[in-house]
């Protein structure tokens, strides 16, 4: 079984996540796109783990999942706090440092 197709799929998903982070304005959707990128890299790690025949890649993917879970918890709490003070979940509205 060839894993090139898996790697290409992972690249496509990563690209879509990148474009989403750059174009979407809703902070929660931006966050979902970050998750998509993390998931795409996980797929590459698991595929390479199979290619090389050892489990280091799967352990790395496991660590990525743990870090993603922690990141989501803190990130969503920050979004909640910003929403509470500014009544908006748009990334454009948190621009106070600009002025």
Partner 1 sequence: MTAFWILAPIMVIAALGILFVRKAVHAALLLAVVMISLAVLYAALDAPFLFAVQIIVYTGAILMLFLFVLMLVGVDASDSVVETIRGQRVLASLGGLALGLVLVIGLGQISLGTAVGLDDANGEGNIQALANLLFSKYVFGFEVTSALLITAAVGAMVLAHRERLTPKPTQASLAAQRLRDYADSGKHLGPLPPPGVYARHNAVDTPALLPDGTAAGSSVSRVLAARGTVRSAPALADDIEELNRQIGGATHAGRESEAAVTTTETTPATGGEH
Which residues, numbered 37-76, are part of the site for partner 1 (CB under 8 A)? 39, 42-43, 46-47, 49-56, 58-59, 61-63, 65-74, 76
Comparing CB distances to partner 1, the nearer of 69 and 96 is 69
* Least spacing, CB of residue 49 vs partner 1, in Å: 7
Residues 39 and 13 sit within 8 Å (Cβ to Cβ): yes
Q: What is the DSSP string of 87-99?
A: S--BTTT--GGG-
| Binding residues for partner 1 restricted to 3-42, rule: CB under 8 A | 3-9, 11-20, 22-26, 28-29, 31-33, 35-36, 39, 42
* Least spacing, CB of residue 68 vs partner 1, in Å: 7
Q: What is the DSSP string of the chain?
A: ---HHHHHHHHHHHHHHHHHHHH--BHHHHHHHHHHHHHHHHHHHHHHHHHHTSSHHHHHHHHHHHHHHHHHHHHHHHHHHHHHHHS--BTTT--GGG-
With binding defined as CB under 8 A, does residue 86 bind partner 1? no
* Least spacing, CB of residue 57 vs partner 1, in Å: 9
Q: How many residues bind partner 1 (CB under 8 A)?
A: 71
């Amino acid at each position: 079984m060839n894993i090139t197709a898996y790697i290409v799929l992972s690249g496509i998903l990563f690209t879509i996540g990148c474009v989403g982070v750059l174009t979407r304005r809703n902070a929660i959707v931006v966050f979902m796109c970050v998750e998509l990128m993390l998931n795409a890299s996980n797929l590459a790690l698991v595929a390479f783990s199979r290619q090389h025949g050892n489990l280091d890649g799967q352990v790395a993917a496991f660590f990525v999942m743990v870090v993603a879970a922690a990141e989501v918890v803190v990130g969503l709490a920050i979004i909640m706090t910003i929403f509470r003070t500014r009544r908006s979940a748009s990334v454009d509205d948190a621009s106070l440092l600009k002025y």
